[in-house]
Amino acid sequence: MLSNLKRYSAVALSIIMLSAISFFSFAQLAQAEGNRDSVRAPGQSGNRSAHAVSRGSATQQRSFVDSRYQHNRSYPARGYSVRSLPRDHRGVTYGHSRYYSSHGVWYRYNRGRYVVVAPPFGLFVPFLPLAYTTIWMYGVPYYYANDTYYTQTPGGYVVAEPPQGEVSETPPGAEPQESEDIADSKMFIYPRNGQSEERQAKDRYECHKWAVEQTKYDPTKFPREIPADQIMNARADYQRAMATCLDGRGYTAK
């Protein structure tokens, strides 16, 4: 009887000790969870604020309004990237690189994304952005959009350096309709031999270099060496030289 009592007492004591240990462990766990929650709540709030700030900063840097020459249009900021190109994009080859344009925004592929970039000077394009502003420098028209200047060249346009000096939104001494006629005068180049796009880009660039050597006029740079009253003549000579070179390489100029 006494031995049974001792046995029951030992079992009861063990149960009490186990209960106490479990209760203490549960209390510690609850306290830890409470402490974790009290730490996580401010941390989560801070992360959301930081994320919001980060997103807010990205939003501020994601686009800008180009108000130069009263252009007043919004564009993605350079350095901003997207996973896929707009559906209406058009591609242009320059050297060994490929550039893509959509509504005056230029992209270049980099590590799985398309990054908004500035097009390089000397990039030949057969098109202008849908929205652009025409400005004039010594009678030469420049087409402006998204901090990029284009000037006319046989078969299309070329990205040019910003004109240095005072510019005008109408040509000196020209009526508005005359200004439009001058701006719209274009020379189109057609490949007669089915030249590929890469070949056309190579031929344009090589003919451009040859025409610059022959005329000392480079439409991608402001002609500081040429007097203002001779710029239009030099420009016309350059275009004729370009057309002649391209004709010799199997293109028709109209």
**pLDDT, tens digit (0-9, with 9 covering 90-100), for 135-187:** 988 888 899 999 999 998 887 899 999 988 778 887 666 554 444 444 445 66
C-alpha 104/C-alpha 124 separation (Å) is 14
Nearest in space to 127 (alpha carbons), one of 87, 147, 108, 99: 99
Lowest model confidence (mean pLDDT) among 58-62, 229-233, 234-238: 58-62
Q: Which of 12-16, 173-177, 194-198 has the highest mean pLDDT?
A: 194-198
Q: Is pLDDT at 252 greater than 80 in this prediction?
A: yes
| pLDDT given for residue 227 in this prediction | 78
Structural domain for 144, as ranges = 73-253
Residue of 221, 219, 69 whose CA lies nearest to 152: 219
29 lies in some domain = no
Judge whether 51 lies within some domain: no
The pLDDT value recorded for residue 102 is 95
Tokens coding 106: 């230029």
Is 57 within a domain?
no
Mean confidence (pLDDT) of the chain: 76
Task: Return the pLDDT at 250.
Answer: 93
* Count of the separate structural domains present in the chain: 1
pLDDT the model gives residue 14: 57
Residue 137 is which amino acid? Answer: M
Question: Is 68 inside a domain boundary?
Answer: no
Flag whether 130 is in a domain: yes
The token pair at 66 is 């180009």
pLDDT digits (tens, 9 = 90+) for 97-109: 999 999 999 999 9
Would you state the pLDDT for residue 96?
Answer: 85
d(CA 15, CA 37): 32
Query: Is residue 19, in this structure, part of any structural domain at all?
Result: no
Q: Is residue 110 part of a domain?
A: yes
- Averaged pLDDT for residues 214-220: 89
pTM over 0.75? The answer is: no
Residue 148: what residue type? T
Give the range among 1-5, 88-92, 159-163, 199-203 with minimum mean pLDDT: 1-5
Quick one: pLDDT band at residue 13, thresholds 50, 70, 90? low
95 near 124, Cβ under 8 Å?
no
> Would you say residue 79 has pLDDT above 60?
yes
Lowest mean pLDDT among 10-14, 178-182, 244-248: 178-182
Q: Does the structure show a pLDDT above 50 at 59?
A: no
Classify residue 190: in a domain, yes or no: yes
